[in-house]
Amino acid sequence: MVQVIGYDVKEKENGEEFLLLVLQGGVEAVKSEATGKMYFTARTVKVPATFDEDTCKSLVGSQFEGTIIKVPADSYQYTIRETGEVIELKHRYEYVTDADAVLKEQLINSELVH
């Protein structure tokens, strides 16, 4: 289950605006690679939407089926807002429906099959 916790307005290169819904998954415990200590977090992702701003506002607080998964990505640097620390990440988060999550979990990567 995910919850809409907000929305964001972005601008394309041509100046046209578009909207993103900000989704958040459930709370999970994670072990810090730097300190080895446990902390709680929730995965958050922004997903493009075709709604107008009023509709996006009205959706805040809504919950619907799906999950936010961690997927491999090219390395990039990320600055932690609270501390200013710059870290290197090799993943991103993606929203998937429950059915898509099962398929991703059950299917074998075609690159692994010869």
Q: Which two tokens stand for residue 101?
A: 């999550």
Domain assignment present for residue 77? The answer is yes
* Domain hosting residue 52, numbered range: 2-106
Q: Distance between CA atoms of 68 and 2, rounded to whole angstroms?
A: 8
The pLDDT score that the predictor gives to residue 36 is 87
Tokens of residue 111, six digits: 């690159």
Whether 54 maps to a domain, the answer reads yes
Q: Does residue 78 form part of some domain?
A: yes
9-25 pLDDT tens trace? 999 999 999 999 999 99
Mean pLDDT of 81-97: 88
Q: Measured between alpha carbons, how far is residue 98 from residues 25, 29, 36 in Å?
A: 12, 21, 31
Query: For residue 84, what is the enclosing H or E element?
Result: none
At CA 87, angle to CA 84 and CA 47, rounded to 5?
90
Whether 113 is covered by a domain: the verdict is no
Q: How many domains does the chain have?
A: 1
